[in-house]
């Protein structure tokens, strides 16, 4: 008995195809034809993903030290969030990176 596997067309499925389509250099239409994909559905997911990327919040990796900072370095910048959290920046490179990302 030959049972065809159902292809799960979830977000990961379409993101993978969008990535492969870009790498291939093919147009959307040619890529869809070559891979038997629904052109309109593929376009929907590409646009949806682009909107998500445009609206995404960028995260910056930071190295955290203990809350009690025993240093003689001056605080260059203090960022308070909702009066609950406080980020103190002592390092010039960290401050530059933060300001660059905020532009």
Same domain, 30 and 50: yes
Residue 60, pLDDT > 80, answer: no
Q: Quick check: is 5 in a domain? A: no
Q: Quick check: is 91 in a domain? A: yes
Selection from 58, 16, 68, 64 nearest residue 37 by Cα: 16
Same domain, 29 and 67: no
Whole-prediction pTM:
0.48
**Over the stretch 65-98, which tens digit does the pLDDT of each residue have?**
665 656 678 889 888 888 788 888 888 888 888 8
| Most confident by average pLDDT, 3-7, 24-28, 53-57, 81-85 | 24-28
With b for 16 or more beta-carbon neighbours within 10 A and e for fewer, the 75-97 pattern comes to: eeeeeeeeeeeeeebeeeebeee
Q: Which domain does 69 fall in, by range?
A: 58-103
């Amino acid at each position: 008995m030959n049972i065809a596997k159902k292809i799960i067309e979830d977000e990961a499925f379409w993101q993978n195809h969008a990535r492969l389509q870009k790498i291939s250099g093919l147009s959307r239409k040619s890529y869809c034809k070559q891979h038997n994909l629904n052109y309109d559905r593929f376009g929907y997911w590409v646009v949806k993903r682009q909107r998500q990327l445009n609206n995404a919040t960028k995260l910056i990796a930071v190295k955290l030290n203990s809350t009690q900072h025993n240093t003689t370095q001056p605080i260059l910048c203090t960022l308070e969030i909702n009066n609950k959290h406080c980020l103190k920046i002592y390092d010039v490179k960290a401050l530059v990176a933060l300001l660059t990302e905020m532009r």
